Amino acid sequence: MSQPMQIGALRTRLVLEAATRNGDGGGGASVTWTAVDEVWARVAPATGTESFVLDRIAGKVSHEIVIRYRDDVTLDKRFRAGERIFDIRAAFDPDGRQQWVRCLAEERDL
């Protein structure tokens, strides 16, 4: 973030979700996602790619997501906006002032 973040730039409402793994008794597990909180965010696409995977074209877009500071944003969580899912790949406090959390996230299977 080269310039100071303005609170008005947080225009997208996202749901922060955490994974819960439930054993199936046979050595496997099912994963369910539970809402942790709703947050306002700035979501900006950074890069995108397309590839041919399993006889179909698969796309993914990397995004920079910025939210107000909270210490529970970790790589085992994700953001959701309706049907869109953003897997968190990195989350950090960009200036160490506990004002903002900058997340690098990936949206897949577009």
| pLDDT tens track for 18-71 | 999 888 888 888 999 999 999 999 999 998 887 777 777 777 899 999 999 999
The residue to which tokens 């006889």 are assigned: 55
Query: What would the CATH number be for the domain defined by 16-108?
Result: 2.40.10
Say which amino acid occupies 103: C
Yes or no: say if 17 and 82 are a contact pair by the CB < 8 Å rule.
Answer: no
| pTM across the whole model | 0.83
What are the boundaries of each domain within the chain?
A: 16-108
Residue 44, Cα to own-chain centre: how many angstroms? 12
Contact 51, 68 (CB under 8 A): no
Helix (H) or strand (E) holding 12: strand 12-23
| Contact between 105 and 86 (Cβ < 8 Å) | yes
pLDDT confidence of residue 4: 67
